[in-house]
Amino acid sequence: MTFEIGQDDPHNPTGNRFTGERFEKALNVTLNSVVFRSADQELTTAGAYIEMASRLTELILLVLAVLAVRNRVKR
């Protein structure tokens, strides 16, 4: 008994595989899933970048506040 498949072997995609649009989508998905855990809101591109920047700024300010409190307690 033999099986014959009527499809061609898969080929690597050609053409515009590495584009700016695909890179931006990959970066957005990676950052939202790993680093930022964004809300389920639909934002524009600018809004998404502003949200990422604000979350990063919040983190930096929190670390600086902890360091300031630590420095005051040490004295």
- Among 63, 58, 5, 11, residue whose Cα is nearest residue 35: 58
pTM: 0.47
pLDDT at 61: 92
Spatial contact of 48 and 28, defined as CB atoms under 8 Å apart? yes
Reported in sequence order, the residue ranges of 3-75 that DSSP labels E, i.e. its strands, are none
pLDDT tens by residue, the chain, 75 residues: 777 778 777 777 667 777 888 888 888 787 767 666 666 678 788 887 888 788 888 889 999 999 999 988 876
Query: Cα(39)–Cα(32) distance, rounded to whole angstroms?
Result: 9
